[in-house]
Structure 1
Amino acid sequence: MLRWFKKTLFIFLCFGLLAVVLFFFLEVAARLYQSHIEKHNPFIIAANKGEELPYREMRTENDFQSLLSSKMQGSDRKNENEPKLHPDTRILLNDWLDSKGFSPEKRMKLREDFRSWSTQTRDYYACLTHEAVIVFNAENTIRNYFGSDASYFEGYQRSITLAYLHQTGILGRIYEALKEVRHTNKTVTLTLPWSEHIPGSPVFTAYCLPGIRTGSGWAYDYLFVCMHPDEISRQDSTEIDSASEWEKKHFRYKPDFQQDSEGTFDTNSLGFRDQERKMPKERGTFRILCIGDDSTVEGSHNNRTYPALMEQKLSATFPGKNIEVINAGIAGITASDMTQRFFDYASLEPDLVLLQPGASDLLHLYNRRWTNFLPSISVAARLLFSGIFAPSASSFSDSLKRSQGTALEILCFAFTHTNIPVMLLALPYPDSDRVTRDERQFLKWQSKSALFFPAFSFSDYIGFVKTENLLLQEKAARYHIPFVPMEQGLKDDPAFFGDCFHLTQKGIERKADMACAILEPMIEKGYSAE
């Protein structure tokens, strides 16, 4: 028996040693290959030197009307799939619009009503208030989760999330609150520090409410965690960095911020990367509002963003007409956060809104610590198994529909019910069939190394973008609003992309030209009617 055990142990040790040696050689080979690419790829060399990228000259279609009109979904197109809102959901949305948000007292009343609502109304409430709502049973098991971060409690990610919450002591605090709620049958308020050991880490306020108990039956209990950026405090908070443009990161820029004297990145008194605008709007002004994330706000200077270029081009096309194009983009903002800024957008009195949710929602589901775990510590894993922990196409689609989809429906409902015309713009991406080997290597390198996303997979990302664009098209059809397939005029030339997520200045100019080509007939018709 002892001899058999030693023999088995020896075999396992041999296989283990062989695996270590194999991994070592794979890692060395991967690092040599990566080093070779970085030394010989002309795009990576140019990027490291800060030089212009050596893209090929490619012929691209400039007849934007013919390029987009056949694929553009119009607002007059009827669709049998009308938005089906539960009566409670419609009441909630109308109340939110009429009150321009919910007061703290109103939200506490809504939390009590939450317990008897439908699943749809619960999803809308979580998005409108930017709260995470966790439903517990009597055994303290999570039965449901509502909010934009619901995917953290799905699949294998659920175990990782619960393990972290247990390690930081957050789960223990929640269990104590649940115990008190069940004993007193009253609401308990608690604070949840994300980490007590990391200075500046967020501290959340939460409310634990008892379920509706009838007879001897046990009801679920509810935890409402306030996730709105303005409601999150910081441990050991210090003064805001004066060199930073952020008031609330990925949510709001500082008002009247000036990065330098050259207009590289300036904000107006409203905290947008735009020039000062007159409020209320002057009579006869046609005001276009551009909303989005990096895809909207990006540009080498304030006057080189796509909204600024649009204003210059449209003003030249319609001399004597007062046309304004406001850049309300915020880098990294998600569709859920856009719903929190809706009343800021509406206060600008836009005549037309161009809404382009960018890659932020997509990356929120894709670029995660668990997905990046192996690729972040091993170059071999980065090259060979980058997408091994990425979400599947079906799970990504389901998560995106629940997070971004709900927010998009709220935004579409809000704009249409406040009589503000809106257009949804598709997210551009480089065509995988048109890029060369060097260009593909550069785009992957830029995303993995420069953008700190080691698990990035070119094919996975393109698939996820197409899924997001299909979701945008679906929401546009449901609310009978125009959908503009912007990727049609951008994907054919890799020179339009600095990486898979951001456009080069050439791409930004192309995007502005496309938007102007679509809007010029509409503006001309509008002025003629006036």
Structure 2
Amino acid sequence: MNRVAKLIFWAAVLLFWVSVVFMICEHWERARTHHNKLFDYASPIISEAERQDKILFEETRNTSPRPPAEIEAKYPVPEALENTSQAGLQALAEQWEGLILHCDMEGGILNRYGASHPEMTVQLARKANEVPHLSQMTDREHPEYGADVLSRFHLAVDEWRHPKPPQPHVYGSLGPYIDYVIPLPDFPDAGFRFMFHPFQKPGMASPEVFVILIPWRWRAFVGGYRPDYYETDAYPQYPKSEFWTNSRGFRDEEVTVPKPPGVYRIVCIGGSTTVEGPRNDLTYPKILQQLLRDHFNTNAIEVINCGVDGGSIRGQVFQYDECLALEPDLVIHYNYVNDTGDLMNSVLKKTVLRSEWRKNILDVLVKSQFLTRRLRRLWSPMMPTKTNYREEIEAMLMPSLKELCERTQARGARFALSSFAYPDIASLPEKEKYWFRNIFAIPLAIQMQLDDYILSADAFNEAARAFCEREGAYYIPVSEGIKGGANIFTDTCHMHMSGIQQKARIMFECLKEKIARHRAEKEQ
């Protein structure tokens, strides 16, 4: 009996000290990789990349294409609300085709000024007439949305009262607006942008807050953009940015259809990593267009940006007719990240989450930064493998890519599929690695690490190369050619201008000879 008691005692002592050591290691890991400490390291790198983005934006602004003046005039300039009469406020609402709410400092609605068109805005104004508070403007079935809007309202007031010096953009930074779906009788998927403008007139006892609501950029969320739309501060990761669409709802100049004789037209499809850039001409499709025009010494080459923020590989199938209507000679696909949430969750459910008890244990263990980061080699066997991801990619994504490729080739055009780039964490300094690991945020069934996402991206890139060999498509090695960290990437997939330019250059080098042969074939 004494022997059993001693064994229990020493086992308890061992367990106690193992727990103490683990807690010390966990505390040490969390302290050394705390967001603020890593931000102090990454901030100078991000600031320099943003400075270069701003320089390029300013240097090219005078020679860049501009949207039609009547489209640009529709986007609100909040400062115009100051010292404006009630008639002037109504006129601004008409010009902006939106709704202006005059609010007290708690979000109570004092006055409303709504445009007489379009009908979606008219119905929004009717809704505003029925509610006394800003927080009630969103979907009634989701009061948390109204609470979110109100928190942004108060944040805007706080920032106005206590201005802070500009900070480098980090993942999750808030822009000067917030977008929400507001279901309306005839527009169940109507979406609007809330813009907040606190100010205080000379002699006023207290500040005023105007909230401007305008239709957002999407026709339906991630379902394509509204035509003839313009906005500023479109992308928080750039110090300055502009975004506008043509009459077809693409972030590009007007496209002539039928295609003029002799024009070689390239259409670029994908999500935000295709459409991104601080201005329409500073996106990878337009940079690629200029590289090709210079190389072939002709303006008869067009590269059209048909990317849509949030667009997925599977969703592209349902919007592809709009792209094919442009009569492309070549289609370039660059996307993966917007499918990873569903894909990685599906893999998790088929592997590590097959049983409830295993899920519960993993749900606790993955919250340990020490285990998941410092003991990665011990941890990896418990998580999905590249083979698991590859199998799911073949089942979930490749059928959609095959359909896109076949529909393209059926029109006599070529199809190109690019590998998907991510920060090169293997070669980065340790603090920069953890910076990217900290800002990785894809909602999943259990908490996963950036390393797991990169493993899935590698599986996609391998599958993409095999797909091109199998289907007679062009493979573009973008991921293989872009190496860097916070100087290139604004987060785990989006890029500063230096990265966007590299992406365009890699595509140019890969495609120029193929395009030369294809153009020659078409001229015969």
Paired with 2:384 and 2:509, the residues of 1 have a C-alpha distance of 37
- Aligned match of 1:52 in 49, 65, 77? 49
1:198-249 per-residue CA deviation (whole Å, 9 max, x = no partner) reads 4699xxxxxxxxxxxxxxxxxxxxxxxxxxxxxx996994742036322222
- Aligned match of 1:246 in 196, 199, 218? 218
Measure how far apart 1:401 and its partner are: 1.3
Once the two structures are superposed, the pairs formed by residues 9-408 of structure 1 within 5 Å of their partners are 28-35=27-34, 38-39=36-37, 43-46=41-44, 50-52=47-49, 198=142, 237=188, 239-241=190-192, 242=214, 244-260=216-232, 264-366=242-344, 383=373, 391-408=384-401
Percent identity, please.
Answer: 24
1:40–1:490 CA distance, 2 compared to 1 (3 A)? closer
Paired with 1:269 and 1:263, the residues of 2 have a C-alpha distance of 20
Measure how far apart 1:472 and its partner are: 1.2
Paired with 1:473 and 1:238, the residues of 2 have a C-alpha distance of 38
Match of 2:477 in 1: 485
Instruction: Note if contact 1:42-1:54 (Cα within 8 Å) is conserved in structure 2.
Output: no
1:244–1:19 CA distance, 2 compared to 1 (3 A)? farther
Instruction: Note if contact 1:287-1:351 (Cα within 8 Å) is conserved in structure 2.
Output: yes
1:486–1:264 CA distance, 2 compared to 1 (3 A)? same
Amino acid corresponding to residue 227 of structure 2 in structure 1: P
1:527–1:11 CA distance, 2 compared to 1 (3 A)? closer
Amino acid corresponding to residue 470 of structure 1 in structure 2: E
Amino acid corresponding to residue 394 of structure 1 in structure 2: T
- Structure 2 residue matching 1:316: 3-state secondary structure: helix
1:327-378 per-residue CA deviation (whole Å, 9 max, x = no partner) reads 1112232211111112111111001111223222234323799999658977
Instruction: Note if contact 1:374-1:381 (Cα within 8 Å) is conserved in structure 2.
Output: no
Measure how far apart 1:326 and its partner are: 0.4
Match of 2:195 in 1: none
Paired with 1:417 and 1:199, the residues of 2 have a C-alpha distance of 49
Match of 2:435 in 1: 442
1:199–1:421 CA distance, 2 compared to 1 (3 A)? farther
Amino acid corresponding to residue 478 of structure 1 in structure 2: R
Instruction: Note if contact 2:42-2:432 (Cα within 8 Å) is conserved in structure 1.
Output: no
Amino acid corresponding to residue 219 of structure 2 in structure 1: E
1:291–1:46 CA distance, 2 compared to 1 (3 A)? same
- Aligned match of 2:416 in 417, 423, 426? 423
1:10-33 per-residue CA deviation (whole Å, 9 max, x = no partner) reads 999999999997886566444422
Match of 1:167 in 2: none
Match of 1:517 in 2: 509
Paired with 1:340 and 1:238, the residues of 2 have a C-alpha distance of 17
> Normalising to structure 1: TM-score of the pair?
0.56
Instruction: Note if contact 1:306-1:512 (Cα within 8 Å) is conserved in structure 2.
Output: yes
Paired with 1:20 and 1:198, the residues of 2 have a C-alpha distance of 42
Measure how far apart 1:52 and its partner are: 3.0
* Greater shift in the superposed pair: 363-372 or 408-417: 363-372
Instruction: Note if contact 1:335-1:408 (Cα within 8 Å) is conserved in structure 2.
Output: yes
Structure 2: unaligned runs, 5 residues or longer: 1-8, 53-138, 146-180, 193-213, 234-239, 354-358
Measure how far apart 1:385 and its partner are: 8.3
1:423-467 per-residue CA deviation (whole Å, 9 max, x = no partner) reads 11111234444322233122212325xx77894434323321121
Amino acid corresponding to residue 420 of structure 2 in structure 1: L
- Where relative contact order (Cα < 8 A, 6+ residues apart) is larger, the structure is 1
Instruction: Note if contact 1:43-1:54 (Cα within 8 Å) is conserved in structure 2.
Output: no
* Greater shift in the superposed pair: 246-255 or 487-496: 487-496
Measure how far apart 1:509 and its partner are: 0.3
Amino acid corresponding to residue 414 of structure 1 in structure 2: R
Paired with 2:42 and 2:512, the residues of 1 have a C-alpha distance of 39
Instruction: Note if contact 2:228-2:246 (Cα within 8 Å) is conserved in structure 1.
Output: yes
Match of 2:406 in 1: 413
* Greater shift in the superposed pair: 355-364 or 327-336: 355-364
Structure 1: unaligned runs, 5 residues or longer: 1-9, 56-194, 202-231
1:233–1:11 CA distance, 2 compared to 1 (3 A)? farther
1:377–1:438 CA distance, 2 compared to 1 (3 A)? closer
1:38–1:366 CA distance, 2 compared to 1 (3 A)? farther
Instruction: Note if contact 2:336-2:457 (Cα within 8 Å) is conserved in structure 1.
Output: no
- Structure 2 residue matching 1:422: 3-state secondary structure: strand
1:29-65 per-residue CA deviation (whole Å, 9 max, x = no partner) reads 4442233x63256543337x8553899xxxxxxxxxx
Instruction: Note if contact 2:270-2:308 (Cα within 8 Å) is conserved in structure 1.
Output: yes
Amino acid corresponding to residue 393 of structure 1 in structure 2: K
Amino acid corresponding to residue 43 of structure 2 in structure 1: I
**Aligned length in residues:** 355
Paired with 1:496 and 1:263, the residues of 2 have a C-alpha distance of 17
- Structure 2 residue matching 1:256: 3-state secondary structure: coil
Instruction: Note if contact 2:423-2:483 (Cα within 8 Å) is conserved in structure 1.
Output: yes
1:408–1:375 CA distance, 2 compared to 1 (3 A)? farther
| Superposition RMSD in Å | 4.5
Q: Does 1:472 align with 2:470?
A: no
Measure how far apart 1:319 and its partner are: 3.6
- Structure 2 residue matching 1:46: 3-state secondary structure: helix
Paired with 1:253 and 1:463, the residues of 2 have a C-alpha distance of 32
Instruction: Note if contact 1:362-1:400 (Cα within 8 Å) is conserved in structure 2.
Output: no
Paired with 1:525 and 1:490, the residues of 2 have a C-alpha distance of 26
Paired with 1:301 and 1:373, the residues of 2 have a C-alpha distance of 42
1:260–1:382 CA distance, 2 compared to 1 (3 A)? same
